[in-house]
Amino acid sequence: MKSNESINNVISYVEDNLAQKINIEELSEIAKLSPFYFQRLFKKLVGKPVMEYIKLRRLERVSEELKTNNKDSILNISKKYVLTIMKLLVVILKKHIM
């Protein structure tokens, strides 16, 4: 399996499982690479560390859902995507203060 194909498989898996807990070991198995090499390759090809990419994708998904879902609170939506309100606040504050 080529490097790009491995990382594309991981990205597809991440997109399909944003509402689940995801760890490096699981993703490296999907890529058929060691956790160390997988993380290096992912950052090289995607431009972000794996867990940062996942966090940002979850935040984007929460943001999209908040725009379209008037029934659930931000707390319920963020929990759905394995995010805590504290993580959301930290990201929002960093984005607007720095």
* DSSP one-letter string for 54-83: HHHHHHHHHHHHHHH-SSS-HHHHHHHTT-
Query: What CATH number is given for 3-50 in this structure?
Result: 1.10.10.60
pLDDT in tens, 5-30: 999 999 999 999 998 999 999 999 99
Distance between CA atoms of 39 and 7, rounded to whole angstroms? Answer: 10
- How many angstroms from the chain centroid is the CA of residue 59? 8
Domain layout of the chain by residue ranges:
3-50, 53-97
What pLDDT score was predicted for residue 2? 85
pLDDT in tens, 55-92: 889 888 887 887 887 787 777 777 777 766 666 666 66
